[in-house]
Structure 1
């Protein structure tokens, strides 16, 4: 029987992997198309259930939150059945709320009896490691400290040259802190500061990058994007200077949730925990004084996928893998990108040729035929949009601008085209010339 192509397998449910993340604030289902270095997300939905909101006061998950979570999981089970995802391809994990609640074990048993879904409760250190793997899957050269903020806990992980060197979980999630201290920021700050003092290696890593994970912290980054009118509204790899991020966190911590909810792209239910989440971020940044604060859209769920990959796939460049996948789907000739790269490479042979530029050139070559199906008058726009807004990891905003500008030129984009101008706005003169 002939081996199926990538085009066939992207719709083959036998390859799909479903990840269910039962957190302190939300319950989420993500379905990935297959086990690969850059898996496509076929389905992604979360429901804010608030399982951790009463644990600090009662030691238990409350009945209303558990009922909401159970109803959500029943629906997810029906969706997975409709997508024909087999039980062996479902990875369901529960984190801080279920881990710490006195009725956590009974709740897991209820999930199994009512839905058939087997949930494993992971430890704080395992949660931290999975979050770090998720960040590394999307930012392979990440070097510094990763912070993953959930509703009930904060996971901190140090990574250096792709390896995890330190990890710890702290009981300072916004739901927990608000449960303990309501909105008293003085008491919340004391608790945060005391918890951070338990991490001696954190302050010793000053001037490192800080990579933020978690919905509440991503919402903080979105506020900055709206405030600064960022040219490219893509969260992954969005970067801020450490001092600017600290000022932003302090500002948001002082706001009322109602005013934050009025900001475009900030979910109203997320706004309720944003001031507390921003206060946690402010104290961490004050404690460690990072060089840059970089947002990662990938975390625990992507870490679960990355953990399963063989070492050969882990070693792949995620941007190049994604570009090659796109070329196989949308290009005409599978070998086109590699041949084009070999053909143009001699033009760039010099001591000043930087490895990062060579990588971007290769990705551009792989993507160079993806717009041939488009209308002849709009192929340039289509190619640039794929680079700017495509689901890539392993590249930042500047890299997207470089690839977009190069692809636009391939398809004859004029200097006055708005999308080409957007690309140039993110680049320096030398990178524009290179592109």
Structure 2
């Protein structure tokens, strides 16, 4: 069942800043220490499909990226069938984490400035905690399994400066490998206020495993297969704990979506017909609902081999990209909006901004007796 509500420790009236200037490689977060002498921070995200690391230095308008790493590990492969992390999947993730640990050590990042988290696959798997403990014992990396509410909040935090300041509401959609986090925000007096959230237990890996692509099928069968994925996600979205009247704000064009994941960045790359992925062209891009649908149709027409040959997709994601497109289409049907903003940022950026903000707060001096 989907998890819904307002983030723990963050009441429904929680306010988020209304944006600011975009930081190079990161999100905006006001003022802070900057320059080459500023300490390095790291954010490590072990997801159901990817293992990603971001190393950055605080800057006046957010942070500057120093190094990054991303590898598809498919940690959640087969999890929906067995309830456990597969041995081969754990080895793939372990190897990627070792590389992350080496980068962190090479950069000399202090342990207090490394935020390492794991999400849906480790939350769901019976042996998820045991795998995290093995990683700690062998590599020294201390990953913390976060719950869906924190995952959703961090994704919002990382995308704040992509919100349209004139919008009345925003829906942030974070499509993962094993779940999809959705956060609805409404404009308040000092920015955007969280109106509600949900975590649907459907991501690109789980949806693709539930609906294998029919091999060698004709257009009608392929279209029915894709539509089945859209409907599957649509059922999950029907549990959204949001006042239906808010849909009218979206339908009237007074709100917009923000997509933060490979699902939407892949659609953006196809839409722009990029020969190679270029983050500077994708991050912050505005796409219409029609643009998203046309990109999805092109992916369907390309077929598995054609998708694998696309530089913005590649063979590792060729069998997952349409599941991501189907999830986005289901969201756009449920929450009709002609505008969606593409975010090549999210949880890792949220982790960095949160920690940098905490470290900037002056510590209270102890009173002498």
Aligning the two structures, in what range does the TM-score lie when normalised by the shorter sequence? 0.7 to 0.9
Distance 2:37 2:309 in 1: 42
Q: Which of the numbers 250, 268, 289 marks the counterpart of 1:242?
A: 289
More strand by share: 2
Residue pairs, 1:113-128, within 5 angstroms: 113-128=137-152
Contact kept, 8 Å, 1:256 with 1:275, in 2: the verdict is: no
TM-score, normalising length: structure 2 = 0.75
Q: Which residue of 2 aligns with 1:426?
A: none
User: In the alignment, which residue of structure 1 is the partner of 2:200?
Assistant: 170
Shift of 1:269: 1.5
- Residue 103 (structure 1) shift: 0.6
**Residue 60 of structure 1, CA deviation:** 0.9
- Tell me how large the CA RMSD over aligned residues is: 2.8
**Alpha-carbon distance in 1 for matches of 2:359, 2:256:** 27
In structure 1, what is the Cα distance between the partners aligned to 2:82 and 2:149? 24
Larger Rg: 1
User: Per the alignment, in what secondary structure is the counterpart of residue 31 of structure 1?
Assistant: strand
* Greater helix share, structure number: 1
1:227-259 deviations in Å (ceiling 9; x for gaps):
89xx99611110122233234334435542321
Larger RCO (CA within 8 A; separation ≥ 6): 2
The 8 Å contact of residues 226 and 264 in structure 1, kept in 2 or not, is answered as no
**Which of 235, 238, 249 is 1:194 aligned to?**
235
TM-score normalised to the size of structure 1? 0.65
4+ residue segments displaced more than 6 Å: 311-314
Query: Are positions 1:182 and 2:212 aligned together?
Result: yes
Q: Which moved more, 1:92-101 or 1:70-79?
A: 70-79
User: In 1, Cα distance between the equivalents of 2:297 and 2:147?
Assistant: 31
- 1:268 equivalent among 311, 315, 321: 315
2-side partners of 1:7 and 1:147: how far apart? 33
> For structure 1, which runs of at least 5 residues remain unmatched after alignment?
315-435
Structure 2 residue aligned with 1:214? 261
Gaps of 5+ in 2: 1-32, 214-224, 362-369
Measure the CA separation in 2 of the matches of 1:226 and 1:186. 24
Q: Distance in 1 between matches of 2:35 and 2:357?
A: 22
Q: Could you give the per-residue CA deviations for residues 278-298 of structure 1, whole angstroms, max 9, x where no partner exists?
A: 111112212221030110122
Residues of 1 paired with 2:117 and 2:335: CA distance? 31
Once the two structures are superposed, what CA deviation does each residue of 1:125-147 show, in whole Å capped at 9, x if it has no partner?
11111101111045473741010
Distance 1:31 1:202, change over 3 A: farther
Closer, same or farther: CA 79–41 of 1 in aligned 2, 3 Å: same
Mapping of residues 18-417 of structure 1, within 5 Å? 18-34=42-58, 37-139=61-163, 141=165, 143-161=169-187, 162-183=192-213, 184-185=225-226, 187-199=228-240, 201=242, 204-205=246-247, 206-207=250-251, 208-226=255-273, 234-253=281-300, 255-310=302-357
